[in-house]
Amino acid sequence: HVQLVESGGGSVQAGGSLRLSCTASGYTETAYSMGWFRQAPGKDREGVATMYTGGGRQYYADSVKGRFNISQDNAKKMLYLQMNRLKPEDTAMYYCAADSDPFCHPRNMDWASFGYWGQGTQVTVS
């Protein structure tokens, strides 16, 4: 079965950087949608950055455009989120998600359409 494991969260001062990593295992498909989502206390889960592992563009929430970058290493089945110029409002639990269903398209950044989730990694910006 599919497993996603995030790492790389932590505490950082405003203006700093962090790089999140997600290891995917159990996928038999060669391409699928993957993305990063986050949820702050008392707020809804929101899409941060998504992409299709088979190629194509990346999608970003307006709040992170120009500061965050999503990338992948297909050979290692790794997904990354480089977060620069972090702000206190970026504080949240960050989750890696994936799904191979064709109705799960990364451009929608719809967390409800992703069926596989990691356990999350906390990012705190002060």
Consecutive H or E run containing 94: strand 92-99
**2-28 average pLDDT score:** 94
Predicted confidence band at 101 (pLDDT cuts at 50, 70, 90)?
confident
Q: How confident is the model at residue 113 (pLDDT cuts 50, 70, 90)?
A: very high
pLDDT of 76? 85
pLDDT category, 26, cuts 50, 70, 90?
Answer: confident
Residues 6+ apart with CB under 8 A from 26: 1, 2, 3
Q: The sheet that has 68-73: what strands, in order across it?
A: 3-7, 18-25, 78-83, 68-73
Residue 75 pLDDT level (bands cut at 50, 70, 90)? confident
pLDDT beyond 90 at 90? yes
Mean pLDDT of the chain: 93
Mean pLDDT of 74-80: 89
What is the average per-residue pLDDT within 7-33?
91
Q: Give the pLDDT of residue 27.
A: 77
- Hey, is 120 helix, strand or coil? coil
**Cβ count within 10 A of residue 115:** 12
What is the structure's pLDDT at 102? 82
Output the pLDDT for position 83. Answer: 98
